[in-house]
Amino acid sequence: MLDIKAFRAIDDIESCKLFATGHANVLLDYGVTKVTSSKNDWFQNPNVYVVLVTDINTGKVVGGERIHLANPVLPLPIEDAVSVVDKRIYDLIKNYSTPKYTGELCGLWNARDIAGRGVSWLLTKLGVAIASMIKMDSLFVLCAPYTVEMCQKAGFEIETSIGDRGTFNYPKLDLIATALLIKDPQDLRCADAQVRDEIFKYINNPIGQTTEIGPRGTTEINYNIVLPQLEK
């Protein structure tokens, strides 16, 4: 069984360190040593929320993701990544954050021992749910080809105004990344109808249990995506 919790990065630095170590190890497994979302300056960023996946039996951190809120001082990971090949990313983020409220879902990973069990799909839905819960007006993501369809089902649309109609060679020249955007996290009009219902289930019931089914098996998961600081 797995446990998923959400928190603001600056409120739990030790958990941030566990997240970063697990993420780095997964990237190394795929021969990737440089990814902007894997830098650790976000530990001290009050505009970062973290979702952490822990194996209840072993206590090992086995996955996670982050939601970064855009601000004029600290660029989003997607800005650092895409600006190397297309400076238009800066104006794009600015347009969605002035005067509104945008950010990025990034750093999504899971350990190989839980790969294929539906955890990444659940994290995607929970990330979108959190974006809605914290009243974001839009949400960016930069993802690998095999996750594009998954993101589109959750309401993301390919952002064709940058790169080669939304695609880039990143994080290595032989790898492709695609930039996508949800323009309405509160409504999710572009999401698959069933997936939209699931996301709103998590918004309305942020604490609970779920069963995820993937090609490699079924996983029971406890989740708590309540962010206490939002209640204060």
pLDDT in tens, 118-128: 999 999 999 99
- Quote the pLDDT of residue 35: 59
Confidence of residue 232 (pLDDT cuts 50, 70, 90): very low
How many whole angstroms separate alpha carbon 30 and alpha carbon 32?
A: 6
Strands (E), the chain: 2-8, 48-55, 61-69, 103-110, 139-143, 157-158, 167-169, 176-182, 207-214, 217-224
Q: Is the pTM of this model over 0.75?
A: yes
Domains of the chain and any CATH numbers? 2-142+199-231 (3.40.630.30)
Tokens matching residue 1:
């069984």
Q: Which of 15-19, 23-27, 61-65, 78-82 is the least confident region?
A: 23-27
170 band by pLDDT with thresholds 50, 70 and 90: confident
pLDDT value at 30 more than 70: no
Instruction: Say if residues 182 and 151 touch (Cβ distance below 8 Å).
Output: no
**pLDDT classification of 153: cutoffs 50, 70, 90:** very high
